[in-house]
Structure formats: C-alpha cells, structure tokens
Amino acid sequence: MSNRTFTMIKPDAMRNGHAGAIIDRFIKEGFRIVALKQTKLSVEKAGEFYAVHKERPFYGELVDFMSSGVIITAILEKENAVAAFRELIGATNPAQAAEGTIRKLYATSVGENAVHGSDSDENAKIEGAFFFSGLEQF
Ligand code: CMP
C-alpha cells in the first residue's frame, strides 16, 4: 500500500469550468497536493501515456480527446491513496458512478469522464513520473 496516487483533470472538465470545484473536493476529502500543474498533451504524448490501451477500439478516440485541450495533472497523498481516490472519483462510466462521486457530478460519458485516477501503486508511480520529476524532497 502506497500513500500516493496520480490524477488528471481531463479536457472536458477543464472546458466545462469544473477544475476549481474538483481540486477543492480533493482537498476536502483529505488529499494533500504533492505536485500540480496545468499542461497540454500532444497527440504523441497522449498516445504514449495511454500506450497500455493501444489495442482497444477506443484508443484513437481517447488519444484525440486527451490531446484536445489543457489538463491539470497532480500527485496526491493520503493513506491508501489509490483506492481512496478511485472511490472518490467513481466508476469509469459516469452512468454507473455512485451518487456524490466526481464522475457522477461532472463527467458526461465513458470517454469524457472528467478525471483520471491511477489503478495501482505501480501505475501511480509510472504516471506521476511521466509528468513530474525530483519530488523526493516533498
Ligand atoms: P482512464 O481511467 O483515464 O483510463 C482509460 C480511459 O479510457 C478511461 O479513463 C476512459 O476515459 C477511456 N475509456 C474506457 N472505456 C472506454 C470506451 N468504451 N469508450 C471510450 N473511452 C473509454
């Protein structure tokens, strides 16, 4: 069990003006912000980040969407962070997300689902390192 996870606020939530409310929710739920930045993925970088989904039918759509606008990326810290954060964001498909979860509140579809959350400690490290480096001092 690790205390850190990685998240992205996706282009749909950014465009729809939900970034502030979503970050506020992270903090209110007890996540400490270890690192945070606004950035934009190129098609190439989005493809690299989601390379694990390369064979999926939605890969092209996912890469196009994730490179379609600015995003906010962050590393968050809390006890049992990966599982606690996945509970907070809810199911990948907002139609199946529990009431009060971030995706239930802000996502529009399975593809445009407002936020990303790492699915394991190992991926949290890999994904965090994709955007941030030299965080040991925190
Ligand atoms: P995320 O948790 O960021 O990681 C993989 C993403 O693929 C996922 O969120 C969804 O946004 C996206 N995804 C999963 N299933 C589908 C699907 N059936 N159609 C489009 N996008 C999908």
Say how far residue 89 (Cα) sits from the centre of its chain: 9
**If you take atom 13 of ligand 1, which residue's CA is the nearest one?**
111
Task: Please say if 116 is a catalytic residue.
Answer: yes
Provide the edge-to-edge strand list for the sheet that holds 115-117: 32-40, 70-77, 4-9, 115-117
Q: Where does the pLDDT of residue 136 fall: very low under 50, low under 70, confident under 90, or very high at 90 and above?
A: low
Distance from Cα 61 to the centre of ligand 1, integer Å: 9
User: Residue 135 has what pLDDT?
Assistant: 73
State the pTM of this model. Answer: 0.95
Q: What is the pLDDT of residues 20-47, one digit of tens each?
A: 999 999 999 999 999 999 999 999 999 9
Quote the ligand 1 centre to 138 CA distance (angstroms): 31
CA of 59 from ligand 1 middle (Å) equals 8
Q: Using CA atoms, how far apart are residues 61 and 16, in angstroms rounded to an integer?
A: 19
What are the structural domains, with CATH classification, of the chain? 4-131 (3.30.70.141)
- Of 82, 116, 118, 127, the catalytic one is 116
% pLDDT > 90, the chain: 94
